[in-house]
């Protein structure tokens, strides 16, 4: 699959959003997507990973639509992560974006 400008831009936006979220939540582990994208279920250290695998997915092998879906999930906080606090591992889920209150 060829690396064109749109794909390069999407990958760049995904990595930028990942770094922003990682720094904001002070998390060096994985962000697990609420909805798997094909078989991809998480992002960590700037790489995407398939479910139950430890080898990262090559960016060239990911469809452009899947990249867009991954970017949307990061942008809209549709992910969760684990964090250790006082010896306990807890699951954290950021507040979703674009959620209207019922007031």
pLDDT score for 42: 97
Percent of the chain with pLDDT over 70: 90
The angle that helices 5-25 and 64-75 make with each other, rounded to 10 degrees, is 30
Query: Which are the contacts of 50, defined by CB distance < 8 A and separation ≥ 6?
Result: 39, 40, 41, 57
pLDDT band at 103 (very low <50, low <70, confident <90, very high): very low
Q: Which two tokens stand for residue 72?
A: 């949307």
Per-residue pLDDT tens digits for 30-67: 999 999 999 999 999 999 999 999 999 999 999 999 99
Q: Could you state, in order of their start, the residue ranges of all structural domains in the chain?
A: 5-92
Q: Cα–Cα distance between 67 and 88 in angstroms, integer? A: 33
**HEC secondary structure over the chain:** CCCCHHHHHHHHHHHHHHHHHHHHHCCCCCEEEEEEECCEEEEECCEEEECCCCCEECHHHCCHHHHHHHHHHHHCCCEEEEEEECCEEEEECCCCCCCCCCC
Place of tokens 């398939």: 50
pLDDT score for 4: 87
pTM: 0.85
């Amino acid at each position: 699959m060829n690396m064109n400008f749109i794909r390069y831009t999407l990958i760049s936006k995904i990595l930028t959003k990942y770094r922003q979220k990682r720094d904001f939540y002070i998390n060096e582990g994985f962000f697990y997507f609420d909805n798997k994208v094909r078989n991809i279920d998480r992002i960590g250290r700037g790489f995407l990973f398939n479910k139950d695998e430890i080898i990262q997915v090559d960016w060239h092998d990911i469809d452009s639509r899947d990249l867009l879906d991954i970017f949307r999930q990061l942008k809209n906080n549709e992910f969760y992560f684990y964090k250790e606090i006082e010896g306990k591992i807890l699951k954290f889920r950021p507040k979703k974006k674009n959620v209207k209150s019922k007031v």
